[in-house]
Structure 1
């Protein structure tokens, strides 16, 4: 960084993100961020990439433009611009090509279910859910796989002081069925009676196939969260996701 720069943690689960400041200058610095950050920056999906440096130990440091922004609220997620930005990401051939060049392969439903089966601690209820979910897999085999963010929580949507919208924190991105992103966004933020309008703004026909895949990935999301919060001993959150799982089962599409 050179002399005169001060680093302070920027928060986040990995502990690898920092804010670097020198006088009135401020930039966002991260260790080993997503390798396709340059493409995300070029397409205006994340704040502008300023530089990248590789350290002697092999770590890669990236610096991005600091934006004075704010997270979207829960209510703001049901907007044209979230649908538009997610559509831009899912339809980016450049992003998909780079991800594939890095050796990433599509995340298929079978792999997702197998991972949950390995995580399950002999809970017979979880096994029952997984067995049922497995029987539904033949109807969720999608041929079009895209780059998915895989964590579209409203905290990752940032608006700068010019009104530009960004989707940050790409560490968990996957090549997957777009329903992997659509399920948590629609179930988490968009009233069901508005789904057709939101999907129209996203540019997708709300077909029976798409609705079924969105529902299937919601079931997966619920189970993932149940097992995660159980593993860290957060019982209240685990119970909330058990409730969400029962609601999801009850809302099966026709």
Structure 2
């Protein structure tokens, strides 16, 4: 990050994260900013809606890169158990039902992620990593192909696509934020719901959780949630495999093998 973005009075240090494009800026007056290079263009509407920390300014550099500065938030990420809190389901419902976020995302020219496109992406990635012919990947691809009719032609919303508990930030003022929107897509809300339910909500609480979200759990919705759960699990497995992260890729492989018993023979 170039120092001249803020001036000599500011100290800029890496803020961590997988992209390597996030920074903490501090000055002698104890002011703090969260800086990011080329973050999501609809950060402004997310800030206005109170979904991400306040956007302070945006600057375009000479090389064409865009730097955004947000208020540095003193707070903490949610624990896995805290993901069951009502505030989480209410914020997810707000995001999925926001016409402002949806319309801005569409004006940016974003194309909907159709299930068949997601499936083709998974097949191509599996082929490039030489795992397409492994038995468990073949079984998952076969299941997704056979059941794709359950996820076609459904309403699309802006999905965060990575609702991991580490992206939920609780500020000192107890305001809850969902951060890191770089992977957001226009897709079936079941994409976000599947990750949330399978990772954080006990199975016997799904009905109540979805009622708070604003829908009823029926067989068609369950089929969509199951489809996206397997598709995303395979996607995470392939991503970590591509990154050379053996520990995480094995974790997702194990997850897929366990889930085959739930879905593959249905």
TM-score, normalized by length of structure 1? 0.95
Measured in 2, the distance between the counterparts of 1:56 and 1:230 equals 36
Name the residue aligned to 2:21. 16
State whether residues 8 and 19 of structure 1, in contact with CA within 8 Å, keep that contact through their aligned partners in structure 2.
Answer: yes
1:9 and 1:17 in contact (8 A); partners too: yes
Range with bigger deviation, 39-48 or 138-147:
138-147
Q: Distance in 1 between matches of 2:59 and 2:134?
A: 49
Aligned to 1:238: 249
In the TM superposition, what are the counterparts of 1:138-217 in structure 2 within 5 Å?
138-217=149-228
Residue 123 of structure 1 pairs with residue 128 of structure 2: no
Q: Distance in 2 between matches of 1:225 and 1:2?
A: 40
Aligned length: 254
RMSD: 1.5
**Taking structure 2 as the reference length, what is the TM-score of the superposition?**
0.91
Contact between 1:69 and 1:159, CA under 8 Å: does it hold in 2? Answer: yes
How far off is 1:224 after superposition? 1.3
Say if 1:18 and 1:235 are closer, same or farther in 2 by CA, change over 3 A: closer
Match of 1:85, SS?
helix
Corresponding residue number in structure 2 for 1:105: 111
Q: How far apart are 1:56 and its partner, in Å?
A: 1.5
Question: For 1:109-157, what per-residue CA distance to the aligned partner results, in whole angstroms no more than 9, with x for missing partners?
Answer: 1011101110112423212320221110011114210000001000000
Cα deviation for residue 239 of structure 1 reads 2.9
Moved over 2 A (4+): 228-240, 246-254
What CA distance in whole angstroms lies between the structure 1 residues aligned with 2:243 and 2:67?
A: 30
Once the two structures are TM-superposed, the CA of residue 208 in structure 1 deviates from its matched residue by 1.3
- 1:150 counterpart SS class: coil
In the TM superposition, what is the alpha-carbon distance from 1:26 to its structure 2 partner?
0.6
Gaps of 5+ in 2: 1-5
Structure 1 gap ranges (5+): none
Is contact 1:83-1:201 (8 Å) kept? yes
Which residue of the partner structure matches residue 47 of structure 2?
41
1:251 is paired with a residue whose SS is: helix
